């Protein structure tokens, strides 16, 4: 079944930047060595109001995820993944900022606080495609613990650390391909 990756934002002036950022990522992952072609689409307007309502009710990512699944089910939409860009001052961001300073992701919901760095957005987006983190939160050295020195799944996924494509380790490429296979 075709899966859709929706994204929405709370920072309208940066709408174009977000669109470019998504197009760039879908371009990279559709080429070898990953070769998965998925379109990232803006959340339809008719769903936006209800989605905002869900986020205003709770600051728990698991709770929001459950309610989103329910909402999309009721609307007969093929809910798969949602990336939300919200301000650092938002309720959700505040709940997770301490542990995850840039963003947080679960199986089908990713939250990024602000559009400061496209690498942070890509990191969380790749979680939605099946990638795992390449760092250990309990260790002081949180550089990538995989074989890819500029892996984007490291703790501090900044332009300086990630640099240019390709920026994913083999283990994550395989995880993503496997996840996509399971969806088909």
Which window, 6-14, 18-26, 55-63, 140-148, contacts Zn ion (CB under 5 A)? 140-148
Q: How many residues bind Zn ion (CB under 5 A)?
A: 7
Token pair recorded at residue 72: 């999309």
Give whichever of 8 and 153 is closer to Zn ion, judged by the CB atom: 153
Looking only at residues 98 through 137 of this chain, which bind Zn ion when binding is defined by CB under 5 A? 133-134
The nearest distance, CB 47 to Zn ion, in angstroms, is: 26
Measured from the Cβ of residue 12, the count of other Cβ atoms closer than 10 Å reads: 7
Three-state DSSP class for 9? strand
Give whichever of 76 and 140 is closer to Zn ion, judged by the CB atom: 140
Give whichever of 40 and 144 is closer to Zn ion, judged by the CB atom: 144
Alpha-carbon span 20 to 101, nearest angstrom: 23
Give whichever of 80 and 172 is closer to Zn ion, judged by the CB atom: 172
Q: Decide: is 146 part of the binding site for Zn ion (CB under 5 A).
A: yes
Task: Mark 40-78 as b/e (b = at least 16 C-beta within 10 Å).
Answer: beebeeebeeebeebbeeeeebeebbebbeebbeeeeee
Looking only at residues 149 through 178 of this chain, which bind Zn ion when binding is defined by CB under 5 A? 151, 153, 169
Alpha-carbon span 81 to 111, nearest angstrom: 11
H or E stretch covering 24: helix 15-29
The nearest distance, CB 22 to Zn ion, in angstroms, is: 18
Looking only at residues 31 through 70 of this chain, which bind Zn ion when binding is defined by CB under 5 A? none
The nearest distance, CB 153 to Zn ion, in angstroms, is: 4
Alpha-carbon span 9 to 86, nearest angstrom: 6
Give whichever of 83 and 133 is closer to Zn ion, judged by the CB atom: 133
Residues that bind Zn ion (CB under 5 A): 133-134, 146, 148, 151, 153, 169
């Amino acid at each position: 079944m075709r899966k859709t990756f929706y994204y929405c934002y709370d920072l309208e002036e940066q709408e174009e930047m977000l669109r470019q950022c998504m197009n760039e990522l879908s371009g990279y992952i559709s080429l070898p060595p990953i070769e998965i072609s998925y379109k990232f689409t803006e959340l339809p307007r008719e769903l936006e109001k209800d989605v905002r309502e869900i986020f205003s009710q709770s600051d728990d990512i698991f709770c929001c995820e459950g309610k989103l699944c329910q909402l999309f089910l009721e609307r007969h939409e093929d809910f798969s993944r949602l990336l939300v860009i919200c301000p650092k001052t938002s309720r959700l961001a505040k709940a997770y900022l301490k542990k995850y300073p840039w963003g947080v992701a679960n199986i089908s919901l990713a939250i990024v606080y602000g559009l400061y760095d496209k690498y942070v957005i890509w990191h969380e987006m790749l979680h939605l495609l099946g990638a795992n983190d390449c760092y250990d939160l309990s260790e002081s050295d949180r550089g990538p613990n995989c074989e890819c020195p500029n892996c984007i799944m490291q703790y501090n996924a900044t332009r300086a650390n990630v640099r240019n494509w390709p920026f994913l380790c083999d283990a994550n490429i395989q995880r993503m391909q496997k996840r996509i296979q399971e969806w088909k």
